[in-house]
Structure 1
Amino acid sequence: MATEVTGYDYASAIGKKCKDHLLMHFDEDGNSCCENKCPAKKALEIQDVFQSNFTMHHQDGHVIPVEVRCIPLTDDSNNIIGVIELFRKLQSATSTVKDSVVNGLVQIAYTDPVTNIPNRQYMDQKLRMLLLESIKSTKDISLGILIIDIRNLVDFNSYGGITLGNLLLKVVAKSIFEIIQLESGSFLARWYGGTFIVFINTNKNTILMNWANKLKLALDHSFVPAWEDIQIDSRIYGTIVNNGETFEKITTRLEKQWSKCKNSTETINVF
């Protein structure tokens, strides 16, 4: 079970510590828990079961949201002699990240071959469908869009060729997917070379900004295996879709946002 969740088997984990770049835990603010917020230490301090949610490293470099439960172990005299840590992957709240309609020949046409997520063509159809549904329902549209640009894809390509660049894209896509899958109505697609698009079910800038921060932290803590010393450099810009906006107007604004994202020193911004 642990291997299925983290990718690490018994042989690769025995005798090692989490902080040895293995199963590292991070809180919701992106802070490492290995020194001051270790859940196992917390269970020892309170001498009871401690349970909380964290983000954890997968062996392949992406991050995964998990629920951690630490249980103190006692001897026959009820003295605490250690702690066992149980963790499970938090379950998806949505199926719209990779819609089930994308299958067979349709999947080939609308799936990015590198990351195995929806491509630009499918994203366009998804956006048109959401706009149409909003008009039919007469309800205010609730859609925030994030543009996530990986600034150093070219560097990875120069270091290890297209193979390393593709590995970076896979790690990025997997980390984004693992985070947003917990949000109902979320959607992820690859837009351009190193640029991804995320749909979030909200019409509030503050909530979209929170998601941008959450994804930025996830990508900051992700890594490409064997290239851990090179941090993934990402920029995230976002916009809220307004009632009555057309597909053409939204995509034009996204293009402008993407251009700003490419040329700006800001790491996160929501308009």
Structure 2
Amino acid sequence: MEMHFEEDFYREIIDSLNDGLYIVDKDRVIRFWNKAAERITGFAAWEVLGTPCSKDILMHVDEEGNDLCRGMCPLALAMATGKNRDAEVYLHHKKGHRVPVWVRAGALRNSEGEVVGAVELFSDMTSIEANRLRLMELERLAMLDALTGLPNRRYMEHEIKTRIEERKRLKVPFGVLFMDIDHFKSFNDTHGHEVGDEVLKMLSNTLINNSRPFDVFGRWGGEEFLGVIRNVDQTELSKVAERIRVLVEKSFIVHEGKRLRATISIGATLFQDEDTMESVIKRADDLLYESKRSGRNRVTVG
């Protein structure tokens, strides 16, 4: 059964769009302006119908400030070439400010195939960009430790799971370093928590600035840190751990004119075939405490 629709039906559909839509004739005079166009631009339909789109209405500019409406804007290019045009531009809002929009323009033809006008659909990028940045920020906050800027425990667990899958598929070995700042509680009690925070940041910066591009270090919790070291054997893992231990030992912060130093104890182990995430972390943790029992400021590999 053939379906017939009245003009009002199509108008209702177009007016229900979230994107702005307007139609111009060959002289770029606005002949249709939907509800979303009113919302995005601030201009009501009665203010713009019968007016050239370049006349103090949209006044599109690009990111360099070039006035597109006086030349070949996407709408004009679509009519001139007969091809659809996409672009990110900045339109003029009725209140005076600029609104970033993504426009898609296409030529309109009559039954003889002649270009008689064009239609432009434009999406408000303000909320899209804001939502994108907000999502990125939430993801960043969910995966980073607020104090040190290092990946947090949640991220490190994800990293180890990824490395386990990589090892299964590609046979790429990796090791885990479990690190703990020696006597951190007494350090905090003596100098205060603000100084303790500076020590945590000092250690974090040492890890960030002295790690290989494909290794990942994160804060596990409190004064504990974890490192995931890719593509190493036990000897190389031991060298990486020892280099980090020495660099931390040689670092210091200045507080009330005095140099304050901290040391770390480290447990280092390679992931084995029978391991899980939990087992390799526990073994590294056990090796860390062996370093503690042996006098601290040392690496124990196993």
Which of 149, 154, 157 lines up with 2:188 in the alignment? 157
Superposed counterparts of 1:99-248, under 5 Å: 103-135=136-168, 137=169, 139-180=170-211, 183-226=212-255, 228-248=258-278
Post-superposition offset of 1:244:
4.4
Question: Could you tell me how far apart the structure 2 residues matched to 1:129 and 1:144 are?
Answer: 13
- The answer (yes or no) to whether the contact 1:149–1:261 under 8 Å persists in 2 is no
Question: Could you tell me how far apart the structure 1 residues matched to 2:292 and 2:138 are?
Answer: 34
Q: Deviations over 1:216-260 (max 9, x none)?
A: 111111112226443212112200112342223223323323433
Q: Deviations over 1:70-95 (max 9, x none)?
A: xxxxxxxxxxxxxxxxxxxxxxxxxx
Question: Could you tell me how far apart the structure 2 residues matched to 1:241 and 1:129 are?
Answer: 13
- The answer (yes or no) to whether the contact 1:143–1:240 under 8 Å persists in 2 is yes
Give 3-state SS (helix, strand or coil) of 2:255's partner.
coil
- Hey, what does 2:74 align to over in structure 1? none
- The answer (yes or no) to whether the contact 2:153–2:218 under 8 Å persists in 1 is yes
Post-superposition offset of 1:214:
0.9
Q: Which has the higher contact order (CA 8 A, sep 6+)?
A: 1
Question: Could you tell me how far apart the structure 1 residues matched to 2:286 and 2:172 are?
Answer: 22
Post-superposition offset of 1:209:
1.1
Question: Could you tell me how far apart the structure 2 residues matched to 1:107 and 1:226 are?
Answer: 31
CA RMSD of aligned residues (A): 2.0
- The answer (yes or no) to whether the contact 2:266–2:288 under 8 Å persists in 1 is no
Post-superposition offset of 1:262:
3.9
Post-superposition offset of 1:162:
1.3
Question: Could you tell me how far apart the structure 1 residues matched to 2:198 and 2:136 are?
Answer: 24
TM-score using structure 2 length:
0.51
Residues 249, 208 of structure 1: CA spacing in aligned structure 2 closer, same or farther, 3 A cutoff?
Answer: same
Runs of 4+ with deviation above 4 angstroms:
none
Which one has a bigger Cα radius of gyration? 2
Question: Could you tell me how far apart the structure 2 residues matched to 1:226 and 1:188 are?
Answer: 26
Give 3-state SS (helix, strand or coil) of 1:248's partner.
helix
- Hey, what does 1:17 align to over in structure 2? none
Question: Could you tell me how far apart the structure 2 residues matched to 1:246 and 1:258 are?
Answer: 18
Residues 229, 264 of structure 1: CA spacing in aligned structure 2 closer, same or farther, 3 A cutoff?
Answer: same
Gaps of at least 5 residues in structure 2 are 1-134
Gaps of at least 5 residues in structure 1 are 1-101
Residues 217, 251 of structure 1: CA spacing in aligned structure 2 closer, same or farther, 3 A cutoff?
Answer: closer
Post-superposition offset of 1:146:
1.2
| Amino acid paired to 1:165 | G
| Amino acid paired to 1:119 | N
Give 3-state SS (helix, strand or coil) of 2:282's partner.
helix
| Residue 265 (1) aligns with residue 302 (2) | no
| Amino acid paired to 1:144 | G
| Amino acid paired to 1:172 | L
| Amino acid paired to 1:255 | D
Give 3-state SS (helix, strand or coil) of 1:190's partner.
strand
Question: Could you tell me how far apart the structure 1 residues matched to 2:154 and 2:292 are?
Answer: 22
| Amino acid paired to 1:114 | L
Give 3-state SS (helix, strand or coil) of 2:260's partner.
coil
- The answer (yes or no) to whether the contact 1:149–1:196 under 8 Å persists in 2 is yes
Question: Could you tell me how far apart the structure 2 residues matched to 1:169 and 1:243 are?
Answer: 34
Q: Give the total of aligned pairs.
A: 166
Post-superposition offset of 1:154:
1.4
Give 3-state SS (helix, strand or coil) of 2:228's partner.
strand
Give 3-state SS (helix, strand or coil) of 2:210's partner.
helix
Question: Could you tell me how far apart the structure 1 residues matched to 2:284 and 2:300 are?
Answer: 13
Identity %: 23
Give 3-state SS (helix, strand or coil) of 2:196's partner.
helix
